[in-house]
Structure 1
Amino acid sequence: MAESRLIQGRYLLLERIGRGGMGEVWRARDESLGRQVAVKCLKPMGPQHEQSYLRVLRERFRREARVAAGLQHRGITVIHDFGESDGVLFLVMELLDGRNLSELLEDNKQHPLPVPEVIGIAEQVAAALAYTHRQGVVHRDLKPANIMRLTDGAVKICDFGIARLGHDIGLSAQSSRLTGTGIAMGTPHYMSPEQIGGGQVDHRSDLYSLGCVLYEIATGAPPFDMDDAWAVLVGHRDTPPTPLREIRPELPETFEEIVLDLLAKDPDARPPDAGDLHERLLELALSGHATTVPRTLPEVRPRPLRASVRLPEPPRLPHWARNMTTGSKATGTGLLPAPPSDPTASLTGAWTGPAAARPEAVLPAPSPEVLADLTTRHQEALRLGRLGRWAESGEAHREVAAERERVLGADHPDTLASRYEAAFTLSRQGRPADALREYARAAAGRERVLGPDHPDTLAARQETAYVLGQLGRHVEAHEVYAAVLAARDRAMGPDHPDTLRCRHNLAFNLGRLGRLEESYGMAREVADARARVLGASHPDTLVTRYEVGYALGQLNRWTDALRTYREVAAARQRTLGADHPDTLAARYEAGICLGRLGRSAEALRLFRDLVDERTQAQGEDHPDTLRARHCLGVNLGRLGRWEEALAEARDVCVIRERVLGADHPETLVSCREIAVALGWLGRWTEALARYREVAQARQRVLGADHPDALTSRSDEAHCLEQLGRSTEAVELHRQVAALRRTRATRGR
């Protein structure tokens, strides 16, 4: 392979950027798509193996690679392709711009990382593991070298499935001894007790390994850091770890408890799953501990070796552990060249964009300390976003963007990255107009610096289309989505996850344009492609199938929509759990379908259950809980139980007004539902007052010719008719008709 430098006529190997026991990692160029990738070449399958064994191994490799390629999460390295060339199995992955945790510790001379960074890394890794464990995938070899922190602060886990492949291929004499009695592949410093003993390995083994990783980045050394491998293994099996705060007192007590729970010898004593762990870490971050430590690196003494560990006599050693040595600790394969002598210089690289795009005035080079501080503040802003604190996150991103523009220039990629993130926070705060302005600015800058078809440029343009849709500007959104989709198709191929995501959004937008058959057809195509590439039960596949259900409902094919939503709900229950918000959302839509089909008694039972489940999972004031209560009231009315429907609508309206505000669209929907119930009860004067209240609010917020405002004015006219005030009703109908004509003329 090294002689040809070209794999399967497509991947041109450019330079080796890592080497380890499993093989080599190369920076390469995908000649078909013209993009940079990382290619991991596993060790050759030599002639010492029988052909039947090699066939089984190849099939195992394909299976493991498909599983890894199906993992789609911001915390997991993306697998683009896999195959075999000249007896060498290879994986093609995204090329990451960052440093793995082992390298970060080495850059820092084995001093621990700052506390905010430790907690931020822990929270992101836990989120990624929670996702993979829900998919039934266990890493088995989690260690600092397999966790990358990118230059934007994001954290990714690498090498899912690789540990088992390495076991099958047979990497070295040491690993042969380790696996000779069935012990799972792993690195001694991060192996769980059940791995060491060759016992049953499940997701809780990953949690133990994560505990070892967090212990190391928080204190500067793993929990059992001895030179002799057997001493390390005995430490994992028999010796309680030294509490972290004895080594580093400023660590939050809660964090120490979490790590020690992860390091429990008995798997049953560890957190039950990574989702539970993630919730605890989020709670810790929200408590403020993650921001109480200054950003300057504290002076912490390196952790001493555990000289107090009493080693058993040699006869007790199992045969597979005799004469085993750890060698030098793994430093990871890394996807970047060796770091510069100044470790902070790698935080923000030199700008190499086109000369024409650079500002005329050459800015003085900022100091490494300034760049490091900006990177830390950027990461802190990202962490606030992950906690849902969007206003704080947006303010922090804007401050970093302004500072980066001052010291680096308006079109520096780091400045544009901060603007992009600031725009994202505005979108999440329900400020699409402000987000649109920022996204457009980021997209224009990236196009100047990186080119129109660069993935970062396309990402900013796609988000521009999304907020255009939020603003109801669906024609403009369609144009942008179509252009981005063409570029992604050209650069990445039709089945790339980013291409499919864009096609999904385009299908959604077609529905909002009223092009329902096209929307349905495209959503079906995307769902089929995602099922083929990612699997039928993958969350992204189910999201698109959910959209298929919506399109079917818009086409009044409610029976088909009901069947689709029920299938999505069942699949989500299997993979995510019965009380997951996405599972409940699919069941909610199934209830809507039942109501539309006239099966209101069934719908009523479903919504009663949903109200109870959402109250327990999300709280009684949560918007989703209130939506379920609203639909419960609607179906009470459909069954003729109008007094109960009126009471339910009033309760929901009061809570929505308190939680969402008096003029929020959902509050106004509840207010209208009160009016509907009053009308059915013959209380037309009260109903008229409510309808007018809704009409005035919608006119004030949405404009006089908005469809919802016009509907409310028509409701008001109907009330006037019921009260015998025909002259007023006719005049109001005339005004509504004139506004509809004006709107239709403007829309041509």
Structure 2
Amino acid sequence: MSSRFEILHLLEEDTASKLSLVRDHKRGAELRLRRFKTTKPDEIEGLQELFRQLSTVESPHLDRLIDFGADKDGFYSIVSGPLPGETLTTMLERGPLTEKEFEVVATQLLEVLDALHEQTIVHGSIRPDFVRISGSSPAEWNVTLHGFGQGFAALDDSKEEQIRAYRCTAPEQWQDGTTRRRTDVYALGCVLYEALTARPPFDGRALKELRLKHLGHDLPPLVKLASHVPSWMCAWVMHLLAADPEQRPRKAGAARVLFERREAPNLPELPSSRAEAPPEVAPTPPASPVHQPPSAPVILPNPQQGVRHATSSTIPIAAGPHVAANKSKRPTTVVQSPRRNYGTPARKPKSPLAANLKPILIAAAAIVLMLAIFVLPRCGQTPTPPPAKGKPAAKKK
């Protein structure tokens, strides 16, 4: 990195990168420098390719890229200006968005994602923390999308921050690491669901619980939580959140067309869980990876103890059933298998006599106890001998 940039102070830091405010001595302007912590050559090469593609996209909803590259300290990117506004996460701490506010946020996010998807760029880890809003009123708002190359980085290694980082992860990412444009559409649905309710659609106390909720599509219907907006708007968001990728809009542009129609998507009745496959439907062959847009590099913090990386997207999956990245599997919900007792012979069914043995023993014990109560007190008395034969018994005086 050129010596023309002077680091002023740290703006923010997560487990993947540091963001600092710097001064450009040549231009006399303040810029933002993000220094990525990875030192792996393949990840640095992936970041180079990602930012090379980003440099070709012009949008008012993206940071203007000034410079990027790699030096002895790793990869860095430089964008113009200070941090804009506040994150959507911070804004939602004051309550859900109104209908007008939601339309502004949704429209601008669809615009920037449409531009990215048309250039075959996939974000891969959209969440409210990566959405920033500046402006004093909805009419003046400018929504910008951030987090490129940061993947599922969290503020720290705590369980709560890990869950926050993964709360918008699509089911296919949990299963086999697939990341494509439909994956961004799902993450956008999670962001917009949270925008209307001020709560994430999926939550849990551990990554394993969060994963199972995404795979099982376990979320409250939006129409019950966001009665302040039209029903078509809720139906549109739920359409983006379809558990089956083939049931979602194929890219942001298709979702944008549906949103501009202001109508509920005309969809067939779908099962609430992906575990219930539609009957008599031939499986769709997987699309060739050559025609899929490239995925953004995933830069992750060090895995927590007891968590292993099981997929190509390096999403930490807790111990339990999972789908390996190199194996094809039907799009079904992962269900915990019943526990098996190895080395223990199977029990034989009990006979009717054995089943009634306990009450019989109890009754017998009660009889013995009653006999003991009446018989034992008489054990100390001398018994009267029987009278001799031929002689009458003597009368007592």
TM above 0.5, yes or no, is: yes
1:268 to 226, 237, 246: 246
Give the structure-2-normalised TM-score. 0.61
* DSSP-derived class of the 1:214 partner: helix
Aligned to 1:40: 34
Please say if 1:321 is aligned against 2:317: yes
2:114 to 114, 130, 147: 130
Aligned to 1:529: none
Q: What is the 5 A alignment of 1:54-69? A: 54=41, 56-69=42-55
Q: Is the 8 A contact 2:125 2:151 kept in 1?
A: yes
2:259 to 265, 281, 303: 281
Q: Is the 8 A contact 1:68 1:160 kept in 2?
A: no
State the shift of 1:38 in Å: 1.0
Deviations 1:105-137 (A, max 9, x none): 23x1xx212221112101110111111101000
Q: Is the 8 A contact 2:193 2:237 kept in 1?
A: yes
CA distance in 2, matches of 1:69, 1:318: 31
Aligned to 2:389: none
State the shift of 1:94 in Å: 2.2
Aligned to 1:227: 205
Cα RMSD between the aligned structures?
A: 3.0
Aligned to 1:121: 105
Aligned to 2:175: 197
* DSSP-derived class of the 1:27 partner: strand
- Which one-letter code corresponds to 2:178 in the other structure? Q
CA distance in 2, matches of 1:118, 1:271: 19
Instruction: From the superposition, tell whether residues 19 and 58 of structure 1 become closer, same or farther in structure 2 (CA, over 3 Å).
Output: closer
CA distance in 2, matches of 1:122, 1:24: 28
Aligned to 1:239: 217
State the shift of 1:191 in Å: 0.2
2:130 to 146, 152, 159: 146
- Which one-letter code corresponds to 1:121 in the other structure? V
State the shift of 1:44 in Å: 5.1
CA distance in 1, matches of 2:14, 2:219: 29
CA distance in 1, matches of 2:7, 2:104: 34
Deviations 1:271-291 (A, max 9, x none): 132112112223339xxxxxx
State the shift of 1:161 in Å: 3.8
CA distance in 1, matches of 2:234, 2:205: 25
Q: What is the 5 A alignment of 1:719-738? A: none
Work out which of the two has the higher radius of gyration on C-alpha atoms and give 1 or 2: 2
Instruction: From the superposition, tell whether residues 22 and 238 of structure 1 become closer, same or farther in structure 2 (CA, over 3 Å).
Output: same
Q: What is the 5 A alignment of 1:334-483? A: none
CA distance in 2, matches of 1:174, 1:206: 25
Instruction: From the superposition, tell whether residues 271 and 60 of structure 1 become closer, same or farther in structure 2 (CA, over 3 Å).
Output: closer
Aligned to 1:160: 148
CA distance in 2, matches of 1:141, 1:76: 15
State the shift of 1:65 in Å: 1.8
1:206 to 184, 198, 213: 184
Q: What is the 5 A alignment of 1:340-739? A: none
Deviations 1:200-257 (A, max 9, x none): 3210000000000001111011101222221111111113421112112122101111
CA distance in 1, matches of 2:203, 2:38: 32
Please say if 1:104 is aligned against 2:91: yes
CA distance in 2, matches of 1:321, 1:79: 34
Q: Is the 8 A contact 1:76 1:158 kept in 2?
A: yes
* DSSP-derived class of the 1:197 partner: helix
Deviations 1:508-549 (A, max 9, x none): xxxxxxxxxxxxxxxxxxxxxxxxxxxxxxxxxxxxxxxxxx
Deviations 1:362-405 (A, max 9, x none): xxxxxxxxxxxxxxxxxxxxxxxxxxxxxxxxxxxxxxxxxxxx
- Which one-letter code corresponds to 2:106 in the other structure? A
- Which one-letter code corresponds to 1:321 in the other structure? I
Aligned to 1:256: 234
Q: Is the 8 A contact 2:89 2:129 kept in 1?
A: yes
CA distance in 1, matches of 2:200, 2:69: 36
CA distance in 2, matches of 1:10, 1:100: 30
* DSSP-derived class of the 1:226 partner: coil
CA distance in 2, matches of 1:240, 1:158: 28
Please say if 1:8 is aligned against 2:8: no
1:92 to 71, 74, 78: 78
Instruction: From the superposition, tell whether residues 321 and 160 of structure 1 become closer, same or farther in structure 2 (CA, over 3 Å).
Output: closer
- Which one-letter code corresponds to 1:92 in the other structure? I
Instruction: From the superposition, tell whether residues 100 and 239 of structure 1 become closer, same or farther in structure 2 (CA, over 3 Å).
Output: same
Instruction: From the superposition, tell whether residues 204 and 190 of structure 1 become closer, same or farther in structure 2 (CA, over 3 Å).
Output: same
CA distance in 1, matches of 2:169, 2:73: 30
Instruction: From the superposition, tell whether residues 277 and 79 of structure 1 become closer, same or farther in structure 2 (CA, over 3 Å).
Output: same
State the shift of 1:173 in Å: 8.1
Q: Is the 8 A contact 2:190 2:201 kept in 1?
A: yes
Aligned to 2:356: none
Q: Is the 8 A contact 1:68 1:161 kept in 2?
A: no
1:20 to 14, 29, 38: 14
Q: Is the 8 A contact 1:132 1:138 kept in 2?
A: yes
Instruction: From the superposition, tell whether residues 44 and 230 of structure 1 become closer, same or farther in structure 2 (CA, over 3 Å).
Output: closer
* DSSP-derived class of the 2:193 partner: helix
* DSSP-derived class of the 1:126 partner: helix
The one of the two structures with greater contact order (alpha-carbon pairs below 8 A, sep at least 6) is 2
The structure in which a higher percent of residues are helix is: 1
Any stretches of 5+ residues in structure 1 without a counterpart?
Answer: 1-6, 46-52, 179-185, 286-316, 325-748
Q: Is the 8 A contact 1:192 1:208 kept in 2?
A: yes
State the shift of 1:187 in Å: 3.1
* DSSP-derived class of the 1:280 partner: helix
Aligned to 2:328: none
CA distance in 1, matches of 2:155, 2:51: 18
The structure in which a higher percent of residues are strand is: 2
Q: Is the 8 A contact 1:44 1:87 kept in 2?
A: no
Aligned to 2:270: none
CA distance in 1, matches of 2:29, 2:187: 34
Instruction: From the superposition, tell whether residues 149 and 318 of structure 1 become closer, same or farther in structure 2 (CA, over 3 Å).
Output: closer
- Which one-letter code corresponds to 1:105 in the other structure? L
Q: Is the 8 A contact 2:38 2:44 kept in 1?
A: no
Instruction: From the superposition, tell whether residues 83 and 211 of structure 1 become closer, same or farther in structure 2 (CA, over 3 Å).
Output: same
Deviations 1:467-514 (A, max 9, x none): xxxxxxxxxxxxxxxxxxxxxxxxxxxxxxxxxxxxxxxxxxxxxxxx
CA distance in 2, matches of 1:38, 1:321: 33
* DSSP-derived class of the 1:89 partner: strand
Q: Is the 8 A contact 1:76 1:157 kept in 2?
A: yes
Aligned residues: 264
Give the structure-1-normalised TM-score. 0.33
Deviations 1:616-670 (A, max 9, x none): xxxxxxxxxxxxxxxxxxxxxxxxxxxxxxxxxxxxxxxxxxxxxxxxxxxxxxx
Instruction: From the superposition, tell whether residues 230 and 61 of structure 1 become closer, same or farther in structure 2 (CA, over 3 Å).
Output: same
State the shift of 1:199 in Å: 4.2
CA distance in 1, matches of 2:150, 2:255: 24
State the shift of 1:69 in Å: 1.8
